Structure 1
Amino acid sequence: MPSSLNLVTTITEDKLILHGLYHEADKSKPAVIYIHGFETTFYAHKFVHKIAEKFNQSNTPYLLAENRGTGIITEFINTDGVGKYYGSFREKLEEAHLDISAWIEFLKNEGYEEIILMGHSLGTIKSVRYLFEGEYANVVKSLILLAPFDKNAYLVVKNKDQWKKHVEIAKGKIDSGKGLESIPPEFDDYPVTYNTYYSWYKVDDLNCMYDFYRKDYDFPVLNKINIPVKVIIGGKDDFLFFPQFNKDGEEIKEILEKNLPKGDVTLLPDSGHVFRGFEDEVGEVVDNLN
Structure 2
Amino acid sequence: MSELRHILVQADDGVLLPALWYVAGGTQVVIYVHGAGSSSIIRSPHMTDTFGRLCNQHGLDFIAFNNRGAGYMTKFDTVQGQSYMGGMAYEVIRDFVYDLSGVIKWAAQSGYESAVLVGHSTGANKIVYGLSSRATYALPVAGAVLLSGGDDVALQRSRYAADTREQIIQISKEKQRSSPHRLVPPEYFPGDHPISWRSLYELLSENGDYDMFPFKRAPYAKGQVIMPFRQLKSIQQPVLLAYGSEDFGTIIPVRQALGLVTGYVPSLDTYELMGADHNFTGFEKNIVQYIVAWIMKRCGDYPSAVAS
User: If the length of structure 1 is used for normalisation, what is the TM-score?
Assistant: 0.90
Q: Does 1:207 align with 2:210?
A: yes
3-state SS in 2 of match to 1:288: helix
Q: CA deviation at 1:188?
A: 4.4
1:18 alignment partner in structure 2: 17
Q: Does 1:168 align with 2:170?
A: yes
Asked whether the equivalents of residues 47 and 282 of structure 1 are also in contact (C-alpha less than 8 Å), the reply is no
Q: CA deviation at 1:44?
A: 2.6
- After TM superposition, the structure 1 = structure 2 runs for residues 219-258 of structure 1, keeping only pairs within 5 Å, are 219=228, 220-240=230-250, 242=251, 246=252, 248-258=253-263
Q: CA deviation at 1:49?
A: 2.5
Q: CA deviation at 1:120?
A: 0.5
3-state SS in 2 of match to 1:47: helix
3-state SS in 1 of match to 2:210: helix
User: May I ask how many residue pairs the two structures share in their alignment?
Assistant: 283
- After TM superposition, the structure 1 = structure 2 runs for residues 23-34 of structure 1, keeping only pairs within 5 Å, are 23-28=22-27, 30-34=28-32
> Take 1:164 and 1:138, find their aligned partners in 2: how far apart are those partners?
42
Q: CA deviation at 1:152?
A: 1.9
Q: Does 1:193 align with 2:218?
A: no
2:305 alignment partner in structure 1: none
1:144 alignment partner in structure 2: 145
Assess, with a 3 A threshold, how the Cα gap between structure 1 residues 183 and 264 changes in structure 2: closer, same or farther. Answer: farther
> Take 2:212 and 2:145, find their aligned partners in 1: how far apart are those partners?
15
3-state SS in 1 of match to 2:158: helix
- After TM superposition, the structure 1 = structure 2 runs for residues 62-77 of structure 1, keeping only pairs within 5 Å, are 62-77=62-77
1:108 alignment partner in structure 2: 108
2:186 alignment partner in structure 1: 184
Assess, with a 3 A threshold, how the Cα gap between structure 1 residues 143 and 194 changes in structure 2: closer, same or farther. Answer: same
> Take 2:287 and 2:143, find their aligned partners in 1: how far apart are those partners?
17
Assess, with a 3 A threshold, how the Cα gap between structure 1 residues 146 and 90 changes in structure 2: closer, same or farther. Answer: same
After superposition, give the CA deviation of every residue in 1:98-123 in whole Å (9 maximum; x if it has no partner).
01111001000011121111000010
> 4+ residue runs of structure 1 moved beyond 6 angstroms?
none
> Take 1:102 and 1:269, find their aligned partners in 2: how far apart are those partners?
36
Q: CA deviation at 1:200?
A: 2.6
> Take 1:193 and 1:136, find their aligned partners in 2: how far apart are those partners?
30
Letter in 1 for 2:143: S
Q: Does 1:59 align with 2:64?
A: no
Assess, with a 3 A threshold, how the Cα gap between structure 1 residues 81 and 20 changes in structure 2: closer, same or farther. Answer: same
Assess, with a 3 A threshold, how the Cα gap between structure 1 residues 280 and 4 changes in structure 2: closer, same or farther. Answer: closer
Instruction: Flag structure 2 segments of 5+ consecutive residues without an equivalent.
Output: 222-226, 297-308
Letter in 2 for 1:182: V
User: If the length of structure 2 is used for normalisation, what is the TM-score?
Assistant: 0.85
Q: Does 1:5 align with 2:4?
A: yes
> Take 1:137 and 1:81, find their aligned partners in 2: how far apart are those partners?
25
> Take 1:154 and 1:96, find their aligned partners in 2: how far apart are those partners?
21
> Take 1:185 and 1:230, find their aligned partners in 2: how far apart are those partners?
40
> Take 1:261 and 1:26, find their aligned partners in 2: how far apart are those partners?
35
Q: CA RMSD of the aligned region, Å? A: 2.0
Asked whether the equivalents of residues 132 and 235 of structure 2 are also in contact (C-alpha less than 8 Å), the reply is no
After superposition, give the CA deviation of every residue in 1:241-283 in whole Å (9 maximum; x if it has no partner).
x3xxx3x221012123333343111112322111112112112
Q: Does 1:159 align with 2:167?
A: no
Asked whether the equivalents of residues 206 and 221 of structure 1 are also in contact (C-alpha less than 8 Å), the reply is no
Instruction: Flag structure 1 segments of 5+ consecutive residues without an equivalent.
Output: none
Assess, with a 3 A threshold, how the Cα gap between structure 1 residues 164 and 131 changes in structure 2: closer, same or farther. Answer: farther
Q: CA deviation at 1:235?
A: 2.1
Q: Percent identity?
A: 24
- After TM superposition, the structure 1 = structure 2 runs for residues 74-113 of structure 1, keeping only pairs within 5 Å, are 74-113=74-113
Q: CA deviation at 1:25?
A: 2.9
Asked whether the equivalents of residues 222 and 259 of structure 1 are also in contact (C-alpha less than 8 Å), the reply is no
> Take 1:127 and 1:160, find their aligned partners in 2: how far apart are those partners?
31
Assess, with a 3 A threshold, how the Cα gap between structure 1 residues 211 and 107 changes in structure 2: closer, same or farther. Answer: same
